Amino acid sequence: MQMRVGWVLYTLLAIVSLPSCADPPAADRPHAAHVRSEPRRVPELARLESRPLRPLLPETVASTAGLPPPVSSTHMAAAGKRRIDLKLLLITATGDEPSYLAARSAMDRIGVSYTALIAATTPLTPALLSNNLNTCYYRGVVIAVGGLGFKDPQTQLWGSAFTAEEWAALADYERACSARELVWYGAPSADYGLALASDFASNEVVTAQVTSAGKGVFPYVAADAAIQIHDSFGYKSTVTDQTATTALVQSDDGFVLAAQHLGLDGREALIVTVDSNPYLLHGLVWEYGLISWVSHGVFLGKKRAYLSPQIDDVFISDDRWNTTSHRNNVELDGQDEFRITGPDIDNMVSWQTAFRAKLPAGSQYITALAFNGVGTDVAEYPDESLLTQALAAGGELTWLNHTWDHENFDPLAQDAVHDEVTRNCDLATQHNLNGFACAELVSPDMSGLTSAAAMLGLVDAGARYVVSDTSITAEVAATRGTTAGDNPSFNVGRINTIDDRVYQVPRHPTSIFYDVATRNDEVDEYNTIYRGYWGRDLSYDEIIDTDATFGLHYLLTGDIDPVMWHQTNLYSELIDGTSHSLFSDWVESAATRYSRLVTFPIRTLAQRDIAAAMQARAAFDACGAVATYVELGVARRIELRATGTCVVPMTGVSSRAGKVDLYGGVPTTELAITAGATKVIRL
């Protein structure tokens, strides 16, 4: 028993590692956790500084919207006889613009098919846009920064990265191919039927609302959503041309922040006059609507909101942060352990019921508990209420294998690892635990992934999907002599390097530490670690708000990774007459802020389903899928081809050619395709 607890303590301490942790343990804390010297904040804001748009010289053409209809230089077939690739052309001036990175990030995460063109170095020629006969290479055009302004390194003058001829070629293409033009960040001008009213700097906060006309482009934005714009330059304007221009997003003082414009020649433009970057909330809220609009509602890829928390160490105890000595040191302060009891589970289930009712319609949320079977042995843990109430929760919870007694796998022999996994599988069968699958595993401290013996043992026991830690980036892994546990690309996991039968599902840690049960514990530990960074102590509300912003970010970006918690965090504390836990406060903070902004449902996936989605995403990313919208008079169809075998998600299409997933009222058809084949989808 003493031996096992030693292992539990040792291995749990190491779990607290957070992103970019590379600090060696402090000398006076022999088992000190690897914690970062800085708290987690939404990163990159400083590096991706928002910038105002410098005015372009008057003679420089700043957009295509204001160009008069020229004599067409292309000879494209008329509408009804064209083939249009379902692909976007993303144009920027130099490639380092935050708004370009925002647009690219959105397309990459959703899986949209696009080509990026850096205008300062690559000329735009008509041959890049069409075959000048019947095939259009792009469904829509995204201009990352209005006017494509940049400082010419030759002349040292500020001007457009496009020549007048390039702008004309683009306008000509948009007209001939019915391609919409989206300006991700631009200055208001008469070209769009807008007059500049004022601008705002990145240190100001502006609240934005979608107008009633804007609901057509952003139908998923919650009614009365107040979208906070911060860390961004932007321009407020008024509509000067009511017949051609429609305001889509307005500031709370009534000025235009995004508008749609219909040109005299029939070309459609949409301009957003607020800067963005891949991490800023306002851009994450409206990216889906923008991409859908410029794609005429049909595009490759999909976006979903996921929330899949996993609570480790259920049934056993974790050591506990000491708020008197401000440390977690068993050697110096004695044994200080914590284990939740039945009422904590009851309160969590009650909270979950109320929480679900507050989520967007169509959401499917459930909390997963990763258990250690030894904790049900009354000889070791006399309290029986925890097991009783956990079983009573029935289908309200799902279960994961966290091994029998939490021994680190790395030094273990194959048989021992096999035994650790199998004993828990047997216990789950005995208790008929909801959702349990022996194929899913959370190994102690995410250990064993680099041990041949451990891999053989766990595979032999039936495990196939094992979590890894996203804070173990390649950089961190190199310093620890282990393998990376983060996502190699968005929503993709890793095939285990020792045994390719095992798929690693990257999982996010939080700053709600494994050894804290009460608000007081969390505040004391957080401030002990991060006081130096902030220069002061943060309150509990500030800590939750700061750290749960990651959860909001996961929801708004469509991140599918599960999130890691520990049983200590489920402790139910009565605050002003209401039961709270550190876990419920964090999750509720993230999801409530999400639900106030967006009505797309939140989904929880089982670990095996996350692994399957990650494998599907990796195959889709690699399969070279190309879709073409074909006009056959009044009829329409889409032809899909690929160079590899994969399942292609196509949003905006409901077809019997594949499996349809209706999400927030928008269909996505999942189309299985094999290398070299063409699949025809009739619309």
Residues in contact with Zn ion by the rule CB under 5 A: 312-313
Burial per residue of 351-366, b for 16 or more beta-carbon CB atoms within 10 angstroms, e otherwise:
bbeebeeebbeebebb
Nearest approach in angstroms of CB 432 to Zn ion is 23
**Spatial distance between the Cα atoms of 390 and 153, rounded to a whole number of angstroms:** 67
Which CB, 314 or 598, lies closer to Zn ion?
Answer: 314
- Give Cα separations from 150 to 53, 55, 56, 96, 171 (angstroms): 10, 10, 9, 11, 20
Nearest approach in angstroms of CB 327 to Zn ion is 20
Nearest approach in angstroms of CB 445 to Zn ion is 7
Closest residue to Zn ion: CB criterion:
312
Which CB, 275 or 469, lies closer to Zn ion?
Answer: 469
The first and second tokens of residue 163, run together, are 């020549």
Nearest approach in angstroms of CB 340 to Zn ion is 14
Nearest approach in angstroms of CB 514 to Zn ion is 7
Which CB, 313 or 561, lies closer to Zn ion?
Answer: 313
**Spatial distance between the Cα atoms of 543 and 170, rounded to a whole number of angstroms:** 49
N-terminal to C-terminal alpha carbon distance within the chain: 66
Neighbouring CB atoms inside 10 A of 20's CB total 15
Which CB, 124 or 425, lies closer to Zn ion?
Answer: 425
Which CB, 568 or 655, lies closer to Zn ion?
Answer: 568
Are 50 and 98 within 8 A, CB to CB? yes
Which CB, 256 or 314, lies closer to Zn ion?
Answer: 314
**Spatial distance between the Cα atoms of 31 and 27, rounded to a whole number of angstroms:** 9
Nearest approach in angstroms of CB 480 to Zn ion is 18
Which CB, 313 or 344, lies closer to Zn ion?
Answer: 313
Which CB, 315 or 594, lies closer to Zn ion?
Answer: 315
**Spatial distance between the Cα atoms of 537 and 70, rounded to a whole number of angstroms:** 63
Angle value at C-alpha 401, between 396 and 403, nearest 5 degrees: 140
The half-sphere exposure of 360 on its side-chain side, counting CA atoms within 13 A, is 24
Nearest approach in angstroms of CB 15 to Zn ion is 6
Is residue 149 within a helix (H) or strand (E), and if so which, with residue range?
Answer: strand 149-151
**Spatial distance between the Cα atoms of 506 and 485, rounded to a whole number of angstroms:** 6
Which CB, 312 or 515, lies closer to Zn ion?
Answer: 312
Nearest approach in angstroms of CB 156 to Zn ion is 59
Nearest approach in angstroms of CB 540 to Zn ion is 25
The half-sphere exposure of 186 on its side-chain side, counting CA atoms within 13 A, is 34
Nearest approach in angstroms of CB 401 to Zn ion is 11
Nearest approach in angstroms of CB 313 to Zn ion is 4
Tell me, what DSSP letter sits at residue 364? B
Which CB, 85 or 312, lies closer to Zn ion?
Answer: 312
Nearest approach in angstroms of CB 7 to Zn ion is 11
Which CB, 372 or 546, lies closer to Zn ion?
Answer: 372
Which CB, 92 or 443, lies closer to Zn ion?
Answer: 443
E strand segments, 191-296: 194-200, 206-210, 227-229, 234-239, 245-251, 256-262, 268-272
Which CB, 48 or 441, lies closer to Zn ion?
Answer: 441
**Spatial distance between the Cα atoms of 236 and 580, rounded to a whole number of angstroms:** 42
Burial class (CB in 10 A: 0-12, 13-18, 19+), 636: middle
Which CB, 166 or 313, lies closer to Zn ion?
Answer: 313
Are 305 and 601 within 8 A, CB to CB? yes
E strand segments, 581-658: 602-603, 626-632, 635-641, 646-651
Name every residue whose Cβ is closer than 8 Å to that of residue 409 and which is 6 or more positions away in sequence: 403, 417, 420, 443, 444, 447, 448, 451, 454, 457, 458
Name every residue whose Cβ is closer than 8 Å to that of residue 242 and which is 6 or more positions away in sequence: 193
Nearest approach in angstroms of CB 318 to Zn ion is 8
Which CB, 148 or 421, lies closer to Zn ion?
Answer: 421
The count of residues in the chain is 683
Closest CA to 258 of 231, 282, 292: 282
Angle value at C-alpha 34, between 30 and 40, nearest 5 degrees: 150
Sign of CA dihedral 229, 235, 239, 245: negative
Provide the CA 139 distance to its chain's centre, in angstroms: 25
Nearest approach in angstroms of CB 311 to Zn ion is 10
Nearest approach in angstroms of CB 400 to Zn ion is 11
